[in-house]
Amino acid sequence: MKWWLRRRQPWSDATYWSIDLETSGLDVRRDRMLSVGMVPVRDGIIRWGERLYTLVRGADEASSAGALGVHQILPRDSSASPDEAEVVRQVAQRLDGRVLLAHHATIELRFLKSAARRHRCRWPAPLVVDTVHLLSLLEQRMERLQPYPPSLPRALGEARAHLGLPKHRAHHALADALATAELFLVLRARLDARFVGQLL
C-alpha cells in the first residue's frame, strides 16, 4: 500500500509493532543491541501471544559494566541467542507493511537502521508512531481547552503514571514494549485519532 494511502487508513486497520531495544549505550558506531522486545497491536488490541523477545548473541563484546548493571543481562545469558544479523531480519520481517511504534523512536530507529546496513538487510521503512510525539499532541490539545495546563512528563514510566497506567518493569525490552503499547492505546483514545496519519 502506498504511504499516502496508509496515512488515510483508519487507525485500527493498521498493525503496529511496539518495539523496545536494550543497548550497551547510545552510540550506534560503538554500541550494540543487547535485547529486543516487540508486541503487536492489531484491530486496536494488544496481541500478547504474538510477542517477540530475544537477546542478541555477541552483543556482550560491546557492553559495559554500567549497561550490564542497568539491563541485568550477563554475557552468558545470550550465548544461545540469535546473532545481530538474524535479529534485525526478524524485526524487519515483522515491520514490513506495518507501523513501528516506540517511545523515543529515534533511538530504536538509529540502532535498527545501523544494524540493517551492517548486515545488508533490507530495511522496510515503516511508518513510525512515537508515543513521545503523541504526548506533545495531547499537550497541545490541552492548551486549547484550558489555560496553562500542566506539562505532561515524557519519560515512559512517568507518562504512564500521569495517565493512570500501572507501574511496569523498566529496562527490560519486552516489558517496555508492552508498556509503550498500552500508553499508545490510552493516548490514541485521548486524542480521538481516527486515522493513522493523525498519529504520525
CATH of the domain at 111: 3.30.420.10
Tens-digit pLDDT profile for residues 139-151 = 999 888 887 778 8
Cell digits of residue 181:
503499547
Domain total in the chain: 1
Q: 130: which 3 cell numbers?
A: 512515537
- The H or E element that residue 21 is part of is strand 16-23
Q: Supply the range of the domain harboring residue 102.
A: 3-199
What spatial distance separates the first Cα and last Cα of the chain, rounded to whole Å?
17
CA-closest candidate to residue 159, choices 99, 104, 100, 101:
104
- Write down the residue that cell numbers 530507529 correspond to: 109
The pLDDT of residue 129 is above 70: yes
Cα angle, residue 181 at apex, residues 75 and 145 outer, rounded to 5° = 135
Summarised one tens digit per residue, pLDDT across range 50-88 is 999 999 987 555 555 445 555 555 555 556 789 999 999
Question: What are phi and psi for residue 150, nearest 5 degrees?
Answer: -65, 145
Q: Within the chain, how many helices (H) and strands (E) appear?
A: 7, 6
* Residue keyed to cell 551492517: 118
Amino acid letter at 163?
Answer: L
The one-letter amino acid code at 114 reads S
Q: Rounded to an integer, what distance in angstroms lies between the CA atom of residue 30 and that of residue 70?
A: 18
Q: Is the pLDDT of residue 171 over 90?
A: no
Q: Which residue has the higher pLDDT, 18 or 29?
A: 18
Q: Around Cβ 109, how many Cβ atoms within 10 Å?
A: 18
Q: Is the pLDDT of residue 183 over 90?
A: yes
